[in-house]
Structure 1
């Protein structure tokens, strides 16, 4: 079921005050902006991980082990993305006072970390980032469309 707050957000008109003119955004535009933010966060985390790996001199794990860990993390991230989309979680839904930055964890963060494990070579990492970001966007869009049709 979709939460009351989400239904209310879809039914209200979002207004942005810019140059004394009210710009009205439809609920589809708001959903599209949320999807772009989530995929953008995945790309930022993935690129940051790739830069850290490149600065450290590359991934020293054996290729089979590295790809295995990356695959497991990617599957966990995809399962978490499906759960987040079905339960309509906001982008940063986990929060704790003493987590030392742990509230930034979500499916996009886990998928971004998975990219680092696929990066046994830079080309593999960039390819994995593109594939994972595309798959993540497809999952979110497909589930959002399915849930919006149910309304």
Structure 2
């Protein structure tokens, strides 16, 4: 595994931990009132999109922050790490689900990052 992919995996872990902590704080304040089924649909969408984006980043040899300022909505950093972190956020309806999603998604992201997809 080359260093750039190690940085992608580390950034995915950082984003996942940060968004998992944010979700736990939001869950404790009861301010996130989205139906459970909608959360799962959003989580699955972001997971599939994030992993597909990871394949694309590896295949096209994109740098870690390839989407900084060039995204569709011009909102800053958009890469597969952020999308996978968003998926973890929506999966975390409670702490156990969030930790399970975090572990599985980081393992999948690391597994995808190990291989050359050319």
Pairs aligned (count): 113
Q: Distance in 2 between matches of 1:55 and 1:129?
A: 16
Find out whether 1:71 has 2:71 as its counterpart.
no
**SS class of match (1:56):** helix
Structure 1 residue ranges, 4+ long, deviating more than 6 angstroms after superposition: none
Higher-Rg member (1/2) = 1
What aligned pairs does 1:1-151 form with structure 2 within 5 A after superposition?
Answer: 31=2, 33-58=3-28, 59-96=32-69, 99=74, 102=76, 104-142=77-115, 144=116, 147=118
Gaps of 5+ in 2: none
More strand by share: 1
Superposition RMSD in Å = 2.0
Taking CA–CA contacts closer than 8 Å with sequence separation of 6 or more, which of the two structures ends up with the larger relative contact order? 2
In structure 2, distance between residues paired with 1:50 and 1:135: 17
Aligned partners of 2:90, 2:69: CA distance in 1, in Å?
Answer: 27
Which runs of no fewer than 5 residues in structure 1 stay unpaired?
1-27
